[in-house]
Amino acid sequence: MSNFSLSFNLVGNSAKFASLAKILQEIQKGTLLLVGPEGVGKFTFVKNFLSFNKNGELIIFSQPAGNKFYSIDTARMIVSLSRQATLKKFFLINDFHKFTKESQNTLLKTLEDIQNNNIFIFITHSFYSILPTIRSRCLILRFNLVSKKEMDDFLATTIDQTKIKNKTNKQLINFLLKIYPGQPGKIHTAWQQKNKIMLLLKFLKASKIDKIQMIDSLKKNFSLKELSEYFILLAKDRLLSDDLSDQEIESYYKVFDLFLYNDLNFDVQLANLVLNYG
């Protein structure tokens, strides 16, 4: 790893990344399952490392179409490519939990008897969404959230300190640290679209009347799914604290119901959220 330059979000988990690098250099065929929180560098490390150390063909599946689930055709394509007796092939598959059970089962026979120096690298933050029959055939490496000190070092070396000292930017950084604790990759991505995130922060601090007036602006910048994910992240932070009353906890669960179980359009859904829960 001496010649390998880590990219922005590869902070923390240094011993795990060193072990992974050694495995990637030596492995001839097999299956790796990298498990851990989003935004700690699992996918980026493997992609960059294998691109830098060209000892085989790298085939990447980074995002299913429409950000939903990988289709069974994707699984069949992987099986077909693995049968081609060419150079060593690394199949790097991000968000492997987005393979349906049917798609995972399509891969199972290939993983049971790996041919032609194929290496499969599955990345997930949802371990139990992977079939036990596949998990049992994998070498599993687990990654953790990045420590506070490492996050401080990451911010100090990645983001221009003159910008961080700006009051507005400081509020944004504090907000991102709250919803993405120990996830430098997530913070880096959010920082690249900070105007959009600042709009969300302004919305969260606004009065109910102002929030209703901001709905059109939010609609132009966010999907309802994105907003619900941000709310859940904020709610998680609050629910993990010790200062919530039973009434406040019940309120959060009601909002979860609003997002998850009601089939309402964007405007109605968001207006109900503001009017009933602020």
Q: Tell me the pLDDT band of 119, cut-offs 50, 70 and 90.
A: very high
pLDDT at 93 exceeding the cut of 90: yes
Do the Cβ atoms of 113 and 145 come closer than 8 Å? no
Query: Which residues, listed in sequence order, are joined to residue 140 by a DSSP beta bridge?
Result: 33
Write out the two tokens for 90.
């690394």
pLDDT at 63 exceeding the cut of 80: no
Highest averaged pLDDT of the listed ranges 132-141, 172-181, 188-197, 236-245: 132-141
Do the Cβ atoms of 258 and 272 come closer than 8 Å? yes
- pLDDT recorded at residue 160: 60
Query: What are the pLDDT digits (tens) for 10-55?
Result: 688 888 999 999 999 899 899 999 999 998 989 999 999 998 877 8
Stretch 223-238: mean pLDDT: 75
Q: Tell me the pLDDT band of 92, cut-offs 50, 70 and 90.
A: very high
- pLDDT recorded at residue 132: 95
pLDDT at 101 exceeding the cut of 80: yes
Stretch 228-257: mean pLDDT: 65
pLDDT at 96 exceeding the cut of 80: yes
Give helix 101-112 / helix 72-82 axis angle, nearest 10°: 10
Domain ranges in the chain? Answer: 14-142, 148-277
- Distance of alpha carbon 16 from alpha carbon 152, whole angstroms: 20
- pLDDT recorded at residue 4: 43
Query: What are the pLDDT digits (tens) for 257-273?
Result: 555 544 455 555 555 55
Whether the predicted model's global pTM rises above the 0.85 cut: no
- pLDDT recorded at residue 216: 84
Stretch 102-130: mean pLDDT: 93
Query: What are the pLDDT digits (tens) for 198-224?
Result: 998 888 888 878 888 888 888 888 877
Secondary structure of the chain in HEC code, one letter for each residue: CCCCCCCCCCCCCHHHHHHHHHHHHHCCCEEEEEECCCCCCHHHHHHHHHHHCCCCEEEEECCCHHHCCECHHHHHHHHHHHCCCCCCEEEEECCHHHECHHHHHHHHHHHHCCCCCEEEEEEECCHHHCCHHHHCCCEEEECCCCCHHHHHHHHHHHCCHHHHCCHHHHHHHHHHHHHCCCCHHHHHHHHHCHHHHHHHHHHHHCCHHHHHHCHHHHHHHCCHHHHHHHHHHHHHHHHCCCCCCHHHHHHHHHHHHHHHHCCCCHHHHHHHHHHHHC
- pLDDT recorded at residue 6: 44
Residue 265 CB neighbours (<10 A): 9
Bridge-based pairing of strands 57-61 and 30-35 is: unpaired
Q: Is 32 exposed, middle or buried, given 0-12, 13-18 or 19+ CB atoms closer than 10 A?
A: buried
- pLDDT recorded at residue 121: 97
Write out the two tokens for 123.
């990345």
Give every CB contact of residue 85 below 8 A, 6+ residues apart in sequence.
Answer: 115, 116
pLDDT at 139 exceeding the cut of 80: yes
Which candidate, 232, 202, 207, 205, places its Cα nearest to that of 218?
Answer: 202
The percentage of residues in the chain with a pLDDT greater than 70, rounded to a whole number, is 78
Do the Cβ atoms of 157 and 212 come closer than 8 Å? no
Stretch 51-80: mean pLDDT: 86
Query: Which residues, listed in sequence order, are joined to residue 134 by a DSSP beta bridge?
Result: none
pLDDT at 5 exceeding the cut of 50: no
pLDDT at 129 exceeding the cut of 90: yes
14-142: in CATH 3.40.50.150: no
